[in-house]
Every structure is written in C-alpha cells, then in structure tokens.
Structure 1
Amino acid sequence: MTRSRPVSPLRYAYGTNGLADLRLDDALGLLADLGYAGVGLTLDHMHLDPLAPDLAARTAKVARALEQHGLTVTVETGARYVLDARRKHHPTLLDPDAQARAARTDLLLKAVRVAADLGAHAVHCFSGQLPPGTTPDAGWARLADGIGPVLDSAGAAGVPVAIEPEPGHLLEDLAGFHRLRTALGSPEPLGVTLDIGHCQCLEPQPPADCVRSAAEWLRHVQIEDMRRGVHTHLPFGEGEIDFPPVLAALREVGYTGLVTVELPRDSHAGPDRAAASLDFLTTAEATAAKAATMPQEDAPC
C-alpha cells in the first residue's frame, strides 16, 4: 500500500528593498510580467513613504496598481533610514528614549493601516539591537510595551503582525519569538516572519525543521541563500541551503502566505535577480513536489 502526502501551492513574491532603483509602478509591472504572485512592499522614501503627506491617497493608488497587476502584498517595515537619516534601523522599540520608541510604534501603526488598505496578508517588524547600557530584561519589557498598541490595532484591522527574528537583534531566533509571545499571553494577532536564510545562519535546527516548528505561528516567509554563521543575504545557489526540503516543508504545513525573496543588497541587479530567483524557486519546488508524490511503502508493523 502507498500513501501520498497533501501539498499546498506556494506563492512567491519579491521584496521592493531589492528593487530600490526602480519606480514602484515599474517594479510592480516587472514582478507581474515575471510571474510573481505578490510583492514585499517596504515602506520607504523611494516607494511608499510613510512620512510624506497624503499617505491614504498614495496608498489607494498603490492598491489600484496591485489590483491591475494581480499582485498580493505584505507590508515590510525594515527600511534602513526612514526614521533616522544617520542611524540604520533607528529608532527601535528598544530605544532608551521614550519619544524615540514612540516614533517606531507610530511607524508600525501606520504600517497596519496601510496593510489594511492594501489587503495585505501581514505586517512585518523586528525588535532591533539591544542598546548599550540596557539590560536584556529592560529590552524585553520595552519590546512588549512598544508592540502592544500595534497588536491592538492589528487585531482591530484583521491584519497579523509578523515579527522577524533577526541575527544580532534582541529577538534573533525562534526561541526569542516564543519568549515574547509567552510574555504577551499569546495574542492572536502576533505571528512570526520566518527568514529561511536566518534559520541557516543561527538556528539550531535545519531550515526545513524550523518551518515545521514555527508552522502554527507562521504569517510570513522571507527567503534567500545564506551560510552558517554569516548574516549576508545571498542570491540562490551562492550559499549552503538545500531548498527543495524547505519548500517541501512549507507545502507540508499548508502555508499559503507569500514567500518573499529578500535580497536588499542587490538592487543594482534587481530585475535580473528577480527573474533568476523565480526560476530557481519554481525549479526547486518542482523537485520537492516530485519527491512528495513518489510512492512510499508503509512502515512495517
């Protein structure tokens, strides 16, 4: 007797932080023409600036463009200098200054509103690095306090918040996600952005096992190649990850959100990277699907 395993289709997207040299309309047209299902939209000055006037009107225009191109979206908040022109990713929810922390919370609240208006399937965020002189316990308390209003807003809007474990940040791994989730009482709007490269970089489990262990809370996936212990986002084939088992795991757990290619340092070659990435992933998924449909003998009793 043989048994086949159920699978779910994967929907690929490409992050606009890897298309920073393109106008947003051009980027969306490119991704649609290549065959992507969606886009990871980073709120930043060159695309959809969250600090410029008339955000609601500009968001409505983006919504029309997404509909025209048949793309779904996740909203990303990892712009390097959108809040502070001189310090990368500052301020964060861990900043010692309460007003600085409030600026990050306000950005995330705007992101939730944008996501609701765009019909996005998730809003991405991160903790930030622990500031010098701040104890880990104080950092975790600030993170919980800062993200609380965001989760309230997200719950009302029906948009999950997907916090990303980021190497070098206070919340850098899945264990950190579970620490925050438990401290907050497992709120329904809180999920995780699982970056497959980050799993390769520092998680104790292989990336495919990370997918399975995070499945219950998985709200967004980012994907690129990476090497163990080196936090550098690499084009596919230049790192160490075996991708068919990872994609097989995503299909196995029934993940239906976007799988977003994350190559923020490759905007200089964005259109070529986007084309090559989709070719790579669809080939790897076909390999995974073929393996999944191969007959398997039942284990002996």
Structure 2
Amino acid sequence: MNPRPHPAQAPGEPAASPTPLRFGYGTNGLADLRLDDALALLADLGYAGVGLTLDHMHLDPYAPDLAARTDRLARRLDALGLDVTVETGARYVLDPRRKHGPSLLDPDPDDRARRVDLLLRAVRVAADLGAHAVHCFSGTTPQGTDPDTAWHRLADALTPVLDAATTAGVPLAVEPEPGHLLATLADFHRLRRTLGDPDLLGLTLDIGHCQCLEPLPPADCVRAAAPWLRHVQIEDMRRGIHEHLPFGDGEIDFPPVLAALSATGYQGLTVVELPRHSHAGPQFAELSLPFLRRAEATATRSPVLVPHPGDPSATREGSTS
C-alpha cells in the first residue's frame, strides 16, 4: 500500500470551512480483545480509524512474518474502511521487567538502539499500512543523567528514525508526556530546533496532557500546536493529575477544543486514549464516540487562526511542570 497523503492547513490562515473531525480509538484501550475483534467493533460503532499500538497482543513487531501479517492487516483495514496511526507506547514489548523500557534516553547505547529499532519497525509498518503518522515519546530522564546529556541522546537517537520516516513519507509525531524529558509544547520546540526543523518531524498532541500541565487551556494549545500537528489523542483529565479519564469524569470543556481542532484544518485521526480501561474497553468505545460527536456538533464554529511557525511557545523552553 502507498501511504495516504498528509495535508495540512497553511499556518496563519483560518480553514475555509470547519474540517469534519475523524475519530478513532486506541487499541491500548482494547487490550483484552483480539485485534480483528477490536477492529470489527470500532467499524461497527462508526469510528473512522484506529490508533494501533504495536504490542505482543496486537501486531507484535517482534513475532515472525511481520511483513506478511502487516499486509493482511492492511487488507482488513481497507475492508472495514478504517484509517490508522501507528503508536509505540506498549508497556512491556521491549522488556518484560521495565515498563516502557528501554527508552531513547537510556545510558546504555545498546538499550537505546533497541528502542530505535522498535521505532524503525513502526515506520515500516506505518508505510505498509498507509498510516498517517508514527507516534513516539522521549522517555523519562534516567537517574544521574544531566538534562543536556539527555537532550543530546534524544536528538541522536531520533536522527535515524527521521531518516527512515523521510524515506517512507510518514510523519514522526513526538508526544509531550508528563514526567518525561519532552513533557511540554516548549520541549517539543526545543527538539525541533535542535534537529533543524525537519519536515517529517511533527507533534502528537494529547488533549488531556494539555489540561494536566500546560499553562494555556487545551483549545489554545491546539491553536499553538497547529502547524506541527500530525496526530491527536483525546480523553478527559484533571489539572495536575496525569490520569486518563473517560469523557465527563475530568475537567475539560470539549466543544471549544474540537472547534479549535476543526478550524486548523487537521485531517488526521483524533484517537480516544484510555489505556487503563481495557477491562471495559467495548463499553467505553461505545460511549466515547457519541460524546465526541455531540461535543463537535455544539462547538462554536467561528474562525480560529493558526499561529505562524516560530510563535512563542505556550510554555518556557525546557519546562517540565
């Protein structure tokens, strides 16, 4: 399969008309289902796509015959009419004893290389699936590692991944993650500038993370992030508490967020991210889509300008709080 195009709204211009949003659901919130069952469920519920976390239960990136399994999955996604983004946040896919380990920041270069290898596999899978982006994150700073060293490791580790993404034509979408080295929008811009602002380096914006720790409201974060936005994750959350919550259980006012997102012209997937709710995944998948559609329907439709690249970030550079 050829990758699908990745159109983006011109920075600094309002969308000619609001762009209908395309909602997906993350397989990390359906971990108790077989992948084919999860995909059939999402298609039946009316989702436009899926956030596919490469994991031992869902397209294991280290099991035999990955290319053949990916090809079968591509045909299944096409048959169901589902688009896809590839996510790399599996907890124990690389190490059964270390959650999300090893990371791109590990002191051991061999350990960093294992994470890089996972991301390279993810890029190949994404290209074969026609995915609109590959998601990744920095990892937490290891104890005893100074920040400058950690930033150097991150940039160095991502360079071959960006090279592969450029060859494949698939954006790499880095996610600011609370508690990680790259935790905020400001941190993303630090990485972007360090790497020379490569075309295929984009941003995964998690709406709940904006509520958790960014100084601006989530809708303003969407507008600030718009020029680099390649993937969106969404759930409810409370200020200062990094806990992914079902819609209505947190503090986020969703209609302004979805209005801002629509006004940017973003055409990728907006994926529900409830990784700790797999025990009732089908129920939350069924409830989440009508909630988002209602919020989108009631959103204010006034034009929202997308900031020009280079506008000041919402948080000071290097902030992690």
Measured against the shorter chain, the TM-score band is: over 0.9
How many Å separate the matches in 1 of 2:50 and 2:17?
26
Higher helix fraction: Structure 1 or Structure 2? 1
Which residue among 11, 18, 35 is the counterpart of 2:46? Answer: 35
Q: Does 1:237 align with 2:248?
A: yes
Partner letter of residue 263 of structure 2? E
Structure 2 match to 1:20: 31
Q: Does 1:187 align with 2:198?
A: yes
Cα deviation digits, residues 5-29 of structure 1 (max 9, x gap): 7200100000000000000000000
Structure 1 length-normalised TM: 0.95
Q: Does 1:276 align with 2:300?
A: no
Structure 1: runs of 5+ lacking an equivalent:
295-301
Q: Does 1:140 align with 2:151?
A: yes
Structure 2 match to 1:116: 127
Partner letter of residue 90 of structure 2? A
How many Å separate the matches in 2 of 1:293 and 1:249?
9
How many Å separate the matches in 2 of 1:134 and 1:283?
46
Structure 2 match to 1:93: 104
Task: Specify the SS of the correspondent of 1:232.
Answer: strand
Cα deviation digits, residues 213-239 of structure 1 (max 9, x gap): 000000000000000000000000000
How many Å separate the matches in 1 of 2:98 and 2:261?
35
Structure 2 match to 1:106: 117
* Contact kept? 1:144, 1:180, Cα under 8 Å: yes
Task: Specify the SS of the correspondent of 1:292.
Answer: coil
How many Å separate the matches in 1 of 2:75 and 2:58?
15
Cα deviation digits, residues 217-269 of structure 1 (max 9, x gap): 00000000000000000000000000000000001111110000000000010
Structure 1 match to 2:296: 285
Distance apart, 1:48 and its partner CA: 0.5
Q: Does 1:165 align with 2:179?
A: no
Structure 2: runs of 5+ lacking an equivalent:
1-14, 304-321
Structure 1 match to 2:314: none
Partner letter of residue 180 of structure 2? H
How many Å separate the matches in 2 of 1:274 and 1:263?
9
Task: Specify the SS of the correspondent of 1:155.
Answer: helix
Q: Residues 91, 293 of structure 1: CA spacing in aligned structure 2 closer, same or farther, 3 A cutoff?
A: closer
Task: Specify the SS of the correspondent of 1:73.
Answer: strand
Dislocated runs of 4+, deviation >4 Å:
none
Aligned residues with identical type, % of pairs: 74
Partner letter of residue 291 of structure 2? F
How many Å separate the matches in 1 of 2:16 and 2:282?
35
* Contact kept? 1:5, 1:293, Cα under 8 Å: no
Task: Report the aligned-residue RMSD.
Answer: 1.2
Structure 2 match to 1:250: 261
Distance apart, 1:137 and its partner CA: 0.3
Task: Specify the SS of the correspondent of 1:178.
Answer: helix
* Contact kept? 1:18, 1:266, Cα under 8 Å: yes
Cα deviation digits, residues 157-205 of structure 1 (max 9, x gap): 0000000000000000000000000000000010000000000000011
Which residue among 125, 138, 142 is the counterpart of 1:131? Answer: 142
Q: In terms of Rg, which structure is larger? A: 1
Structure 2 match to 1:196: 207
